[in-house]
Homo-oligomer: A and B are copies of this chain.
């Protein structure tokens, strides 16, 4: 039985060693809220001890974000700070690793005009597009981990008091990220192995299409012949293996941009830029979202879909069995990093070029020709449940079960 401090140290090491897998002499960029300063300090120490040359900080603060939305003039929402955008791009070019430490705050911008938020999201996404392309093409090592805040903890555990909720959320995070194991590094090796077996199976099958069936969902998704299923382990061009999301339970690929048809309904709330979108439904024709609705957060969803051309199409198809540890916890985290790993999901927007054979070496035009969607955004939404069935259709038209009642059938 480890103490809280021991688990915290293991969690920090997990982020540095398994997450970004920092290399001797490499620079590290930590993007984090100032509220997470204590954990950032621990991670920084671990990074230097692991050989990092320089740790850079890209701090943010929810209260300052809110202050800007409340008090700044309209002109504030017409440009993103160039020095940050260029700074991140330059560090990516230099080969730095990127660790995002996040504190979910799903209700932060609830009272702010969704139009203003959408405008700001778009400006931000445009400014950060080159930097984000480095990440989505695995040209840099990157990883995302979360830490609790009292606000988030009480949203996940509404029946506990503040202190209990924070403590319970830490324990939950340690458990779901395997930081509470005797040897988390070894535990992750085994976990990566298990996930890649599923990915290998699906890559062997090269399904032409997937058919989704669940209440509110009847959807088919086609694939390019060169699509690749991926899982936990990602590879930097220099061979370094990193893990983008801690935790991660998914195997995922990219859809054929124009090959999505039917309707899909979300099964969990989606936290997008400080607003919750609940009960969203999308209807597709030849890949394009031609209709959509939401029980709450409609304007935010509308702003997301209308970001650009690519945000009318899907960029990711991810399979997660309904008995994943996160799903079994029975909790809703109001945070994509956790909730996406409890549930099959799709993403609106940009596809990972890594999920197409040779994709990372293609130009944007070549990727488009192969039906790889591009967009300023990439936003996952959850569609898994114990009522979801997924079938695969092989090249010669045979139908094979992949998921039954939310569980692996392969």
Residues of A at the B interface (CB closer than 8 Å) are 25, 34, 37, 40-41, 44-45, 48-49, 51-57, 59, 61, 63-64, 67-68, 70-73, 75-76, 79, 81-84, 86-88, 90-91
Asked, given contacts A34-B59, A59-B34, whether A73 binds B45 with beta carbons under 8 Å apart, the answer is: no
- Cβ distance A186 to chain B, nearest Cβ, rounded Å: 25
Asked, given contacts A25-B73, A82-B90, whether A41 binds B67 with beta carbons under 8 Å apart, the answer is: yes
Which residues does chain B contribute within 8 Å of A90, judged by CB atoms?
Answer: 82-83
Q: Choose from B41, B45, B79 the contact partner of A61 (Cβ within 8 Å).
A: B41
Which residues does chain B contribute within 8 Å of A37, judged by CB atoms?
Answer: 34, 61, 63
CA gap between A87 and B68 in the complex, in Å: 20
Which residues does chain B contribute within 8 Å of A72, judged by CB atoms?
Answer: 48, 52-55
- Cβ distance A368 to chain B, nearest Cβ, rounded Å: 31
Which residues does chain B contribute within 8 Å of A57, judged by CB atoms?
Answer: 59, 61, 64
Which residues does chain B contribute within 8 Å of A49, judged by CB atoms?
Answer: 71
Which residues does chain B contribute within 8 Å of A84, judged by CB atoms?
Answer: 87
Are A54 and B81 in contact, with the CB atoms below 8 A?
yes
CA gap between A282 and B52 in the complex, in Å: 40
Which residues does chain B contribute within 8 Å of A76, judged by CB atoms?
Answer: 48, 53-54
Which residues does chain B contribute within 8 Å of A34, judged by CB atoms?
Answer: 34, 37, 59
Q: Choose from B54, B56, B64 the contact partner of A40 (Cβ within 8 Å).
A: B64
Main secondary structure, interface of A, reads helix
Which residues does chain B contribute within 8 Å of A51, judged by CB atoms?
Answer: 73
- Cβ distance A147 to chain B, nearest Cβ, rounded Å: 15
Could you show 29 A-B contacts with beta carbons less than 8 Å apart? A25-B73, A25-B75, A34-B59, A40-B64, A41-B63, A41-B64, A41-B67, A44-B64, A45-B67, A48-B67, A48-B68, A48-B71, A49-B71, A51-B73, A52-B72, A53-B72, A53-B75, A53-B76, A54-B68, A54-B76, A54-B79, A55-B68, A57-B64, A83-B83, A83-B88, A83-B90, A83-B91, A86-B86, A86-B87
CA gap between A206 and B59 in the complex, in Å: 49
- Cβ distance A31 to chain B, nearest Cβ, rounded Å: 12
Which residues does chain B contribute within 8 Å of A48, judged by CB atoms?
Answer: 67-68, 70-73, 76
Which residues does chain B contribute within 8 Å of A67, judged by CB atoms?
Answer: 41, 44-45, 48
Q: Choose from B25, B59, B70, B87 the contact partner of A87 (Cβ within 8 Å).
A: B87
Of all chain B residues, the one with the shortest Cβ separation from A72 is B48
Which residues does chain B contribute within 8 Å of A81, judged by CB atoms?
Answer: 54, 56
Of all chain B residues, the one with the shortest Cβ separation from A80 is B54
Of all chain B residues, the one with the shortest Cβ separation from A60 is B57
- Cβ distance A208 to chain B, nearest Cβ, rounded Å: 46
CA gap between A391 and B317 in the complex, in Å: 82
Which residues does chain B contribute within 8 Å of A41, judged by CB atoms?
Answer: 61, 63-64, 67
Indicate the member of A25, A52, A72, A75 with the most B CB atoms within 10 Å.
A72
CA gap between A326 and B59 in the complex, in Å: 35
- Cβ distance A33 to chain B, nearest Cβ, rounded Å: 10
Asked, given contacts A48-B68, A84-B87, A91-B83, whether A59 binds B56 with beta carbons under 8 Å apart, the answer is: no
Are B73 and A53 in contact, with the CB atoms below 8 A?
yes
Which residues does chain B contribute within 8 Å of A54, judged by CB atoms?
Answer: 68, 72, 76, 79, 81
- Cβ distance A355 to chain B, nearest Cβ, rounded Å: 30
Of all chain B residues, the one with the shortest Cβ separation from A52 is B72
Of all chain B residues, the one with the shortest Cβ separation from A78 is B53
Are A83 and B73 in contact, with the CB atoms below 8 A?
no
CA gap between A73 and B22 in the complex, in Å: 14
Which residues does chain B contribute within 8 Å of A44, judged by CB atoms?
Answer: 64, 67-68
CA gap between A88 and B83 in the complex, in Å: 8
CA gap between A86 and B88 in the complex, in Å: 13
CA gap between A70 and B51 in the complex, in Å: 13
